[in-house]
């Protein structure tokens, strides 16, 4: 269910994780509803930037009272967020999107694959499927040695790192890390840049594994009204009556076989 907050929500923690990468914990009753792969919209306070910025949920606190957001500075809105400190407040819309199909991991060998700012939602996903999946292997791709969240992931699975400059782990991308590992999986769940998701989709078709991918798209309303974040699918959308799906509502997570990317 989508709920728009008019009241302000308190930030309990706000820190910098790496160059241009920041996190904040927000106290909200909606933490009880949040699932791995879903996201929220955070409204900037600057009146010149009215639209909410979509940010994936990285983690839910153990007491189900707070959500953790990890984001990259990408424009004026997220640059503003990076100045927030504990005790500040934000206006939020959420919880949005459909999340990863947790039941698909039960008794399966699972690959979690993340690239760049697509890595954060995999933390809550790894926590959620830990104990039900047969095995969890986590492949993370970074530009350089400024890695983030990798150590936290190690509590829930085997972590393999790829960096573009070779400073940490395998030199290359996540697909290079998967190839070097020699491991196999039944189900892959991925979030990251489009080129990475295309490679994951192609690989799973080759090895005949199931894949669920979280698409990153620019969004305006975040609730499916504006049709600004559509992707092409194999199905007819009942809203637009064409082969499109709204990433903010039907997604962001899709069966890789259902989308054309």
CATH of the domain at 115: 3.40.50.80
Please state the length of the chain: 261
Q: Is the pLDDT of residue 163 over 50?
A: yes
Residue for token pair 């690959």: 111
* Number of domains observed in the structure of the chain: 3
Domain boundary among 40, 65, 96: 96
H-type helices in the chain, by residue range? 76-81, 121-129, 150-153, 174-181, 194-207
What pLDDT score does 171 carry?
A: 98
Burial (Cβ within 10 Å: 0-12, 13-18, ≥19) of residue 45: middle
Report which of residues 94 and 90 the model is more confident about.
90
The per-residue b/e assignment along 162-199, b for 16 or more CB within 10 angstroms, e otherwise, is bbeeeebbbeebbbbbbeeeeeebbbbbbbbeeebbeb
- Mean predicted lDDT score pLDDT of the chain: 89
Specify whether 106 is located in the same domain as 209.
Answer: yes
For 56, the domain range is: 3-96
Q: Flag whether pLDDT at 3 surpasses 80.
A: no
The reply to whether 107 and 180 lie within a common domain is yes
For residue 108, how many C-alpha atoms fall within 13 Å in the half-sphere facing its CB?
A: 18
User: How many CB atoms are located within 10 Å of the residue 252 CB?
Assistant: 28
Lowest mean pLDDT among 49-53, 120-124, 186-190: 49-53
Average pLDDT estimate for 189-212: 94
195 contact partners, CB below 8 Å, separation of at least 6? none
Q: In what order do the strands lie in the sheet with 135-142?
A: 170-171, 158-163, 135-142, 109-115, 187-191, 210-214, 253-255
Q: Which of 67-76, 129-138, 245-254 has the lowest mean pLDDT?
A: 245-254
Determine the average pLDDT of the residues in 182-207. Answer: 95
Condensed to tens digits (0 to 9), the pLDDT of residues 108-133 reads: 999 999 999 999 999 999 999 999 99
- Over 90: is that where the pLDDT of 106 sits? yes
Q: pLDDT class for 240, splitting at 50, 70, 90?
A: low
Lowest mean pLDDT across 8-12, 93-97, 116-120, 186-190: 93-97
Last residue of a domain, one of 81, 96, 111: 96
Same domain, residue pair 128 and 193: yes
**Eight-state DSSP code of residue 88:** -
Residue 203 and residue 234 share a domain: no
d(CA 25, CA 92): 13
């Amino acid at each position: 269910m989508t709920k728009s907050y008019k009241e302000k929500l308190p930030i309990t923690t706000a820190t910098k994780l790496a160059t241009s990468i920041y996190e904040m914990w927000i106290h909200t009753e909606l933490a009880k509803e949040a699932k791995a792969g879903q996201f929220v919209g955070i409204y900037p306070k600057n009146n010149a930037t009215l639209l909410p910025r979509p940010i994936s949920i990285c983690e839910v606190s153990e007491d189900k009272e707070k959500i953790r957001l990890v984001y990259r500075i990408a424009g004026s809105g997220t640059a503003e967020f990076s100045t927030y400190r504990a005790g500040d407040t934000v206006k939020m819309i959420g919880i949005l999107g459909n999340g990863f199909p947790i039941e698909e991991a039960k008794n399966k060998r699972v690959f979690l694959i993340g690239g760049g700012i697509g890595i954060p939602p995999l933390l809550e996903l790894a926590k959620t499927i830990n104990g039900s999946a047969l095995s969890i292997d986590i492949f993370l791709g970074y530009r350089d040695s400024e890695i983030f969240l990798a150590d936290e992931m190690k509590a829930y699975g085997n972590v393999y790192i790829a960096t573009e400059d070779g400073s940490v782990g395998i030199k290359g991308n996540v697909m290079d890390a998967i190839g070097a590992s020699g491991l196999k999986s039944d189900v892959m769940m991925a979030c990251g840049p489009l080129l990475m998701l295309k490679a994951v989709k192609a690989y799973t078709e080759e090895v005949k594994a199931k894949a669920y991918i979280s698409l990153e798209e620019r969004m305006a309303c975040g609730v499916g009204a504006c049709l600004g974040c559509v992707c092409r699918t194999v199905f007819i959308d009942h809203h637009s009556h064409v082969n499109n799906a709204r990433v903010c509502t039907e997604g962001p997570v899709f069966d890789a076989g259902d989308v054309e990317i």
